[in-house]
Amino acid sequence: MQRNASTLYPILLVHGLFGFDQIGSFGLFHDIKQALRTCGARVFIPHLSVTHSNEARGDQLLAQIERVLEGTGAQKVNLIGYSQGALAARYAAAVAPQVVASVTSVSGPNQGSELADFLHRALIPGHLAEQTAEEVATLFADFLSLLSGSPKLPQNAVAALNAITTEEVCAFNRKYPQGLPKTWGGKGRELVNGVRYYSWSGTLQGNIGDEGINPLDPLNTMCRAFSRYFNTEAEQNDGMVGRFSSHLGTVIRSDYPLDHLDVINQLSGRVRRGIDPVELYVRHAERLRDVGL
């Protein structure tokens, strides 16, 4: 039976830190973009700085939203932001709600990331370690942009790291509170200023065998190693973002058996038991279509 995900408004998949659209045959949103298009959606992936602040990336996103509107004749767009991309999407919707129909946060650090807090403490501002890390991260960001054929955009690795710490996200949230829960671990308002807000995310499971993961998956191993730096949300995180930190608007689910990279269908996301990351996006596009978006 043919699925129908033909949303009224185009969908923009907004990447996060060190994100891109395509490098050769490898896409960051592996199979997701094509699956949505096959089901009738108009899908675009905007080019944003690989590393930069939420506001800088949000302004870049706004400029590309305007291009999509001009090219398609649509009045609004649906934004699906992955990881830091959720914060850029939130910024765009807060600043220009008239051109955004919905914001969906996928594993977004909407209350900050405890992993980012640890890295921020480890890199003492002004010291050699921070300078070296910034230089390496900037070179890597430029390299990714070159490989993906993206337009050259400004990079700022330190600003990107700071932007997802709990302290900086708290300041960001004071300026752009739309869709945020009033209580820790709760849900936020779905409809704010004409924009609908949704979120979903995953958590690392205790028994790796129960997840159906390929044990040799280096990305899951990395997420499990990062998970050790969580305190507030120990055992309730995906390796990079805490479960309750990800909540925004209507929380579809925040404990899918998916790590931070599974949610964009990388490596082990394709061999999970009982969960198909691509299906989550198709189902959500159908959800948006059903409410007239």
Q: Which of 238, 245, 254, 259 is catalytic?
A: 238
Let me know if 247 is a catalytic residue.
no
- Whether residue 238 lies in the annotated active site: yes
Which residue among 52, 247, 260, 284 is the active-site one? 260
- Tell me how far apart the alpha carbons of residues 260 and 83 are, in angstroms, rounded to a whole number: 8
Among 49, 53, 83, 268, the active-site one is 83
Q: In the annotation, is 227 catalytic?
A: no
Annotated catalytic residues are: 83, 238, 260
